[in-house]
Amino acid sequence: MQISESWADRITRSGDLVFAAGNRMEIFDASDPDSPVLVGSYQTGSRVRHIEVLGDLAFLSVNLGFEVVDISDPSNPAFQYALDIGSHLEEIQIVDSRAYLLGTRGLSIYNIEDPTSPVLIGFYHPSFDIQEMQVVGTRVYINGVGSDIIVIDAAIPSPLRLLGTYSAPGSGRVLFDFDDTIAYIINESGLNIVDFADPASPNHLGSAQTPIRLERPRLVGDTLYAPAGGYGVFEYDVADPSLPVYAGSIACDGYALELVSVGSGLIVASGSGVWRIDPLQASDTFVSSLPLETSTADLVVRGSTAFIADLDAGLRVVSVEDPENPVQVGSYSGMERVDWVSVSGDTVYTVDAVSALIHSVDVSDPAAPSFLWEYMTPNPPLSITAEGDMVVVGENGGIRILDVSDPKSPIERGYFQRDRRFDNFSLKDNLLFATGSAVLTAIDIEDPENPQQLGELLIPHNLTAVQSDGNYAYIGIRNPESDPGRGALQMVVVDIRDPAMMRMVAEYSNNDAYSYLELFLRDSRIFAARRTGGIDILDVEDPTEPVLRATYGDYRNKYSGIQIGDSIGYLTGDFGLEIVRMGTHCSQCPVDITGDGILDIADVFAYLDLFGLLDPAADFTGDGVLDIFDVFAFLDAYSAGCP
């Protein structure tokens, strides 16, 4: 949730108070970690670059020095005094009774036992700019030239003593966080974990590649959080420093820059304000992958079998019975390429858009797919969907309906002609919703020989995928390959309950996605493939207000096919097949008793254990009494699912 609309790029915490630095200082009361509240602000004559707190005083890095502000009443911060150090001040850190100031002249150390009269007691003014600083005990770690980290002993501040230098792999400015002598270092090459117990000979423990440039990391227990700009917050499991593991990314509007941990949540400073978000709860977890040397374009999963359209190798048939070990069990190469695939029963229909061909393939034996028939369309097919004995093909100029009740001989039953493209379909109970040429069209195909248009809606965008639940249609939008500009839409929601009077009820924009190329609807969640890479997971419980709940993947993973099962997600793209454990995306969901992000029978047993132990957490009616009504309340909430 957003707790401030003012941009901020630095954030710090002191007790129950959180301080955000941007064009002013903002103070938040986080005594209730789930609902932090903005309680006060302080305006300086310039940008606030960093904030440190000592007791009832806040030290603000501003322009040529720092301002000291009395925060004993957070709702009414009051100026105390200012110190001009004669150079641009970037950061201030306070440890014990010392203030460490990082500016354009380097590092300066002040004794602030009397905060009203700081005394300079040491300095380090090298010939290069210091870009980053971390004080740990009496050591100061600074980033100077390139990716070098310089370790300084400040136990005796005059003179300061050089303890060692470490050159981080890769290049560019480094950002870091520390746990005693263990450093978690971020730069353009990724994440590196280094032990500085012996600063003269640092020991590299482990590393992980990062897909994009990350911002200041923050260690919380065994988890490292790293703001990722427009990609939200990346999460790494660093319980084993020798093997850090990427756990996923957390959605956060705006451009995430720095964060602090409060209770079970995170408060994030971003370019669009200050946000409170929840960490991942094992809801988006990588399971396995099946690398393929060629590009995949589409995907359908039926039971324990995945049918993958391959642009270069035809149809691939993959067993996903064991999600941790997907295995290709069969293939069909009767077509030079497969752009789209649809499945009905034991038959797969494949499309080669270049050759204008449709093939019907018998997959009753997944290990030995066999050819049934070939059908050439007058116009190159753009989309296909199969339901029962009917196959619907979208073209540039119309929609072709084939009767496939005879598995060896298709018959064209009808043609719906319009002067536009039909790129994507959603078909349910003979009601077809088709997108193309900036129009959503509703068509009744119960009588395939006489398809009837029920209504159409102009949507002035380049439309991509469409998914519907019978009441609402969710339609992806493709924007220009160049930056589409702030505010460009990625999805619209249309009320289709009356096909003759369809109306748009929501527009959704995620500026960092550029476009949504593929959509999949499952249990009030839209899984959207971003053109910039990765998956956005949107809550559409209220279709008129889609809410971004989480993201998965990054720019390396550009997905072309999505299918989501009860708890497993199947994704295809340039890399092949990827399988992830998607869960139900519970965010502090009260009935997710086990806290694993998945609602299942284990949560019921866990609740009954709490009830048997008379644990107050089992009081689902909130009346302070544990009785059978609490069990009923839990079961009702469990049936309703996560909010």
Q: Say which residue, 161 or 63, is predicted with more confidence.
A: 161
Q: Give CA angle at 495 (493, 497), nearest 5°.
A: 150
- Range ranked top by mean pLDDT from 243-247, 320-324, 510-514, 617-621: 320-324
Residues 119 and 242 in one domain: no
Residue 395: pLDDT band with limits 50, 70, 90: very high
pLDDT at 324: 82
Q: Which residue has the tokens 């092949």?
A: 576
Is residue 296 a part of any domain in this protein?
no
pLDDT digits (tens, 9 = 90+) for 559-596: 899 998 877 889 998 778 888 876 433 334 567 676 55
Residues 422 and 537 in one domain: yes
**Which of 95-99, 121-125, 592-596 is predicted least confidently?**
592-596
Q: Say which residue, 581 or 447, is predicted with more confidence.
A: 447
Residue 110 has pLDDT above 80, yes or no: yes
Q: Say which residue, 532 or 84, is predicted with more confidence.
A: 84
Residue 373 has pLDDT above 70, yes or no: yes
Is residue 367 a part of any domain in this protein?
no
Residues 490 and 620 in one domain: no
Domain boundary among 260, 280, 300: 280
Mean pLDDT rounded to a whole number for the chain: 87
Residues 620 and 541 in one domain: no
Q: Give the mean model confidence (pLDDT) for residues 141-150.
A: 83
Q: Give the mean model confidence (pLDDT) for residues 367-391.
A: 94
**Which of 362-376, 464-478, 629-643 is predicted least confidently?**
629-643
- Output the domain CATH number for residue 271: 2.40.10
Lay out the sheet containing 516-522: strands in order across. 218-220, 223-227, 233-237, 245-250, 547-552, 535-539, 525-530, 516-522
pLDDT at 143: 87
Residue 447: pLDDT band with limits 50, 70, 90: very high
Residues 615 and 548 in one domain: no
Is residue 184 a part of any domain in this protein?
no
**Residue of 399, 391, 409 lying closest to 349 (CA atoms):** 391
% of the chain exceeding 70 in pLDDT: 92
- Output the domain CATH number for residue 62: 2.130.10.10
How many whole angstroms separate alpha carbon 492 and alpha carbon 509?
A: 9
Residues 535 and 624 in one domain: no
pLDDT at 642: 53
pLDDT digits (tens, 9 = 90+) for 259-299: 999 998 999 998 888 999 887 654 445 567 788 777 888 99
Residues 413 and 553 in one domain: yes
pLDDT at 417: 95
**Residue of 4, 2, 59, 9 lying closest to 27 (CA atoms):** 4
Q: Tell me the residue range of the domain where 526 lies.
A: 377-557
pLDDT at 586: 36
Q: Provide the token pair at 305.
A: 């079998």
**Residue of 4, 6, 28 lying closest to 17 (CA atoms):** 28
Is residue 186 a part of any domain in this protein?
no
Residues 404 and 546 in one domain: yes
Residue 556: pLDDT band with limits 50, 70, 90: low
Is residue 140 a part of any domain in this protein?
no
Q: Provide the token pair at 581.
A: 């454990």
Residue 598: pLDDT band with limits 50, 70, 90: low
Residue 300: pLDDT band with limits 50, 70, 90: very high
pLDDT at 494: 98
Residue 603 has pLDDT above 90, yes or no: no
Phi, then psi, of 609 in degrees rounded to 5: -65, -45
Domain boundary among 97, 125, 153: 125
Domain boundary among 557, 587, 619: 557
Compute and round to an integer the Cα radius of gyration of the chain. 29
Q: Say which residue, 254 or 542, is predicted with more confidence.
A: 542
Per the structure, how many domains does the chain have?
Answer: 4
pLDDT at 568: 84
Q: Please tell me whether residue 89 adopts helix, strand or coil conformation.
A: strand
Maximal CA-CA distance, the chain? 93
Q: Which residue has the tokens 């990427």?
A: 246
Per the CB < 8 A criterion, the answer to whether 381 and 416 are in contact is no
Residues 95 and 2 in one domain: yes
pLDDT digits (tens, 9 = 90+) for 458-473: 999 999 999 999 999 9
Per the CB < 8 A criterion, the answer to whether 572 and 271 are in contact is no
Q: Give the mean model confidence (pLDDT) for residues 159-168.
A: 91
pLDDT at 585: 39
Residues 552 and 607 in one domain: no
Residues 490 and 623 in one domain: no
How many whole angstroms separate alpha carbon 256 and alpha carbon 249?
A: 12
Residue 514 has pLDDT above 60, yes or no: yes
Q: Which residues have a Cβ under 8 Å from the Cβ of 119 and sit 6 or more positions away?
A: 110, 111
Is residue 103 a part of any domain in this protein?
yes
Q: Say which residue, 370 or 287, is predicted with more confidence.
A: 370
Residues 412 and 549 in one domain: yes
Strand partners, 406: none
Residue 486 has pLDDT above 70, yes or no: no
Is residue 99 a part of any domain in this protein?
yes
Is residue 336 a part of any domain in this protein?
no
pLDDT at 597: 53
Q: Which residues have a Cβ under 8 Å from the Cβ of 579 and sit 6 or more positions away?
A: 287, 288, 289, 320, 323, 324, 326, 568, 569, 570, 571
pLDDT at 69: 96
pLDDT at 21: 95
Q: Give the mean model confidence (pLDDT) for residues 375-394.
A: 94
pLDDT at 590: 67
Q: What is the crossing angle of helices 601-612 and 628-640, to 10°?
A: 160
DSSP one-letter string for 42-62 = E--SS-EEEEEEETTEEEEEE
pLDDT digits (tens, 9 = 90+) for 36-64: 999 999 999 888 999 999 999 999 998 87
